[in-house]
């Protein structure tokens, strides 16, 4: 029942997190944006194409995760649906994993891949030269979005109120990005490579992109966001399996 139950629960919850028309409207808009960006510029390298398409998409996907991932989960708790999930013959860690899949991974992967599919078709002669680079940049953006989404999920589970959960999530997202900007500005003003490097490391996709360009990237810069993602997932897991009370 374990893995099958987890998959079934993830599918049940996905029918709420990816429900039309909100999700579809967002997909149409970001896929159209991807189409415009792919055709307006003479992009001639797959990893450059992926970055140009995914930069604005990451912002849209993150806001979606804050609404459906964070506030959505808080709404499920308020309506008593999480209690129903917990009454299924599956363990708490399976329920948590199913919620991570349906509220973070699946929406982020679908939203990020829709404009990438469009750009991949439009720029087929360019992308087919090195599809590995194209997919690698996509995975880097997916990891960054998952890091944001994991925090949003934790906020939703802890807040149990959709309003509070969305405010906390959006505040975290802006605080994270503004910290990145401040560190970058302070690093430039002080001439400190470590501070500037820390600002760069907070954007995992940028580190992957830079390494594909051949610009030197240090190992710790590539590890920061994956470690943050692991820490958020672990914190959510510990909270949900040990302390979470749906009532």
- Does residue 178 touch other proteins according to CB under 8 A? no
Residue with tokens 């970001």: 30
**Footprint of other proteins on residues 34-93 (CB under 8 A)?**
34-36, 38-45, 47-49, 52
Residue with tokens 């679908």: 110
**Footprint of other proteins on residues 202-241 (CB under 8 A)?**
209-210, 213-215
* Torsional class of 130: left (φ above 0), alpha (ψ -120 to 50), beta (otherwise): beta
158 with 172: CB under 8 angstroms? Answer: no
Identify which range of 7-15, 151-159, 220-228, 232-240 contacts other proteins by CB under 8 A: 7-15
The CA distance from 217 to 219, in Å, is 7
Identify which range of 11-19, 74-82, 167-175, 227-235 contacts other proteins by CB under 8 A: 11-19
- What residues contact 99, with CB distance under 8 A and at least 6 apart? 10, 13, 73, 85, 153, 240
The nearest distance, CB 168 to other proteins, in angstroms, is 28
The nearest distance, CB 27 to other proteins, in angstroms, is 5
x/- contact string, 118-147, with other proteins (CB under 8 A)? x--xxxxxx---------------------
CA 50 vs. chain centroid, Å, equals 16
**Footprint of other proteins on residues 104-123 (CB under 8 A)?**
110, 113-115, 117-118, 121-123
The nearest distance, CB 121 to other proteins, in angstroms, is 6
104 with 245: CB under 8 angstroms? Answer: no
- Least Cα distance to 112 among 137, 131, 133 occurs for 137
Instruction: Using CB under 8 A, list all residues that contact other proteins.
Output: 11, 14-15, 18, 20, 24, 27-28, 31-32, 34-36, 38-45, 47-49, 52, 110, 113-115, 117-118, 121-126, 188, 191, 209-210, 213-215
């Amino acid at each position: 029942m374990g893995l099958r139950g987890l998959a079934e629960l993830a599918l049940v919850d996905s029918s709420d997190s990816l429900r039309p028309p909100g999700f579809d409207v967002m997909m149409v808009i970001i896929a159209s944006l991807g189409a415009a960006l792919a055709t307006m510029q003479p992009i001639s390298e797959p990893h450059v194409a992926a970055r140009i398409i995914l930069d604005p998409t990451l912002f849209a996907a993150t806001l979606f995760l804050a609404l459906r991932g964070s506030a959505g989960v808080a709404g499920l708790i308020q309506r008593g649906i999480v209690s129903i999930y917990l009454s299924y013959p599956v363990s708490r860690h399976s329920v948590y994993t199913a919620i991570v899949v349906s509220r973070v991974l699946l929406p982020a992967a679908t939203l990020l891949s829709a404009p990438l599919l469009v750009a991949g078709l439009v720029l087929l002669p360019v992308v087919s030269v090195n599809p590995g680079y194209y997919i690698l940049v996509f995975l880097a953006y997916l990891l960054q979005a998952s890091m944001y989404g994991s925090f949003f999920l934790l906020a939703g589970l802890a807040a149990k109120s959709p309003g509070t959960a969305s405010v906390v999530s959006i505040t975290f997202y802006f605080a994270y990005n503004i910290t990145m900007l401040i560190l970058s500005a302070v690093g430039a003003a002080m001439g400190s490579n470590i501070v500037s490097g820390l600002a760069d490391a907070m954007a995992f996709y940028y580190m992957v992109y830079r390494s594909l360009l051949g610009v030197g990237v240090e190992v710790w810069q590539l590890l920061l966001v994956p470690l943050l993602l692991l820490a958020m997932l672990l914190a959510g897991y510990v909270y949900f399996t040990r302390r979470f009370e749906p009532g």
